[in-house]
Structure 1
């Protein structure tokens, strides 16, 4: 039993572990929609993160009051995203006690603050990886958690969003064992399209959380480049006018 528990928590690092799982390239990564400028999507992603991820995974470098940058008021954060013991200026810490988690499982679940930045690889961006991973779970009774993942075979993490997606089974070719597709076993609270959109919102939030100032940086960069272009053009024409009569 102890070995099962330890293997379960060790695999909770599936999205933050330094090593890339051998099965990580079994399927192509789907392109994640870019929602870092979509405030309603980011707000929904923040809600999904608090409700489904924060129980085990912290975001220790993100404070709740920073969510005002995605259009939430301080009162909305207090009413919808904070536990009664949390304060608006606190960092987003997991509800699981770190000491107990270490005593029970031998390791703490990984922090997800910069997870979308750390998972980039040959298959695409970190957002692409997360978007594909969270949509690749299927029922596997042979596993201790009852779940497996096509993108990350033998993953120890259970499917945290299964109530939204429902239960699916994966089908594989009997000869090559290549992945063929999914069969829906029980419906979820969302349709397939709604679930994909919810995952896109969650991934967009994780992407934004990894660098909240990224969109501001891009906007400032565009204006700086435009200023340099205009200044260079004016300097070039001024230089031409100054030297035109010089022989």
Structure 2
């Protein structure tokens, strides 16, 4: 086998692997809002995280007082985000007992500090994955938790925000692929029972939660990007000055 055939074979194998990985990830991921500079969105996302996620999932690499960076004061953190026994300087730890969590869900719920950074894949960013996941739950009586998810088939976690979203069911269509009938998701959902929020409000709330999870994975990202822009502008101005200085220095040299 010559070199070109080896390269083509390797390329085909890589494409198959990527395709298989994408297929096992469920449906295509929707684009997350990605508004990590919107403080109102981040503050609402922090409130949703504490009220609906922190009971099972921890954020052991994030302290409550770091939420000052998204515009909250210590008093606001104490009044709205802390449990009775917690302090502003504490880590964001879950209240669930790990042994009970393993008995209920089959595994201890993972820490979410870096979840938005660790879940990136062929379908998009980690934020895209989380945004799609939290909007793709449906009732499944065959599962121990009573829930399933199109973005993560056979997920062990029940729907944490079902009271806000209500119950929905995906709409499938039957079509033929390679001589076999398959049930394919049409991209549409039917509302079975209403939630406390409208679909538009729920999508906005999930976007806020995902924004917070994305910010939490790298709180200094916005500052780093801002500094990077100023550095590039400085280098651009310095390059222009150096170019003109060089031209002035050599103008009389023949």
Counterpart for residue 64 of structure 1? 64
Counterpart for residue 193 of structure 2? 186
Please, what TM-score do these two structures have when normalized by structure 2?
0.85
Query: Normalized per residue, which structure has more strand?
Result: 2
Counterpart for residue 89 of structure 2? 89
Deviations 1:27-51 (Å, cap 9, x if unpaired)?
2211111210110110000000000
Query: Does 1:39 find its partner at 2:39?
Result: yes
For the pair shown, which has the larger CA radius of gyration, 1 or 2?
2
Provide the aligned C-alpha RMSD in A: 1.6
Superposed displacement of residue 173, structure 1: 2.4
Superposed displacement of residue 172, structure 1: 2.0
Counterpart for residue 55 of structure 1? 55
Q: In structure 2, how many angstroms separate the alpha carbons of the residues matched to 1:94 and 1:80?
A: 16
Counterpart for residue 237 of structure 2? 230
Q: In structure 2, how many angstroms separate the alpha carbons of the residues matched to 1:224 and 1:137?
A: 44
Superposed displacement of residue 102, structure 1: 5.2
CA contact (8 A) 1:21 1:152 kept: no
Counterpart for residue 4 of structure 1? none
Superposed displacement of residue 221, structure 1: 0.3
CA contact (8 A) 1:23 1:151 kept: no
Superposed displacement of residue 168, structure 1: 1.0
Q: In structure 2, how many angstroms separate the alpha carbons of the residues matched to 1:234 and 1:61?
A: 44
Superposed displacement of residue 104, structure 1: 6.8
Counterpart for residue 76 of structure 1? 76
Secondary structure in 1 matching 2:182:
coil
CA contact (8 A) 1:139 1:170 kept: no
Query: Does 1:23 find its partner at 2:60?
Result: no
Q: 1:139 to 1:106 in 2, by over 3 A?
A: closer
Counterpart for residue 208 of structure 1? 215
CA contact (8 A) 2:138 2:148 kept: yes
Secondary structure in 2 matching 1:177:
strand
Counterpart for residue 183 of structure 2? 177
Q: In structure 2, how many angstroms separate the alpha carbons of the residues matched to 1:48 and 1:103?
A: 25
Query: Does 1:119 find its partner at 2:110?
Result: no
CA contact (8 A) 2:167 2:195 kept: yes
Superposed displacement of residue 156, structure 1: 1.4
Give the count of matched residue pairs: 227
CA contact (8 A) 1:140 1:169 kept: no
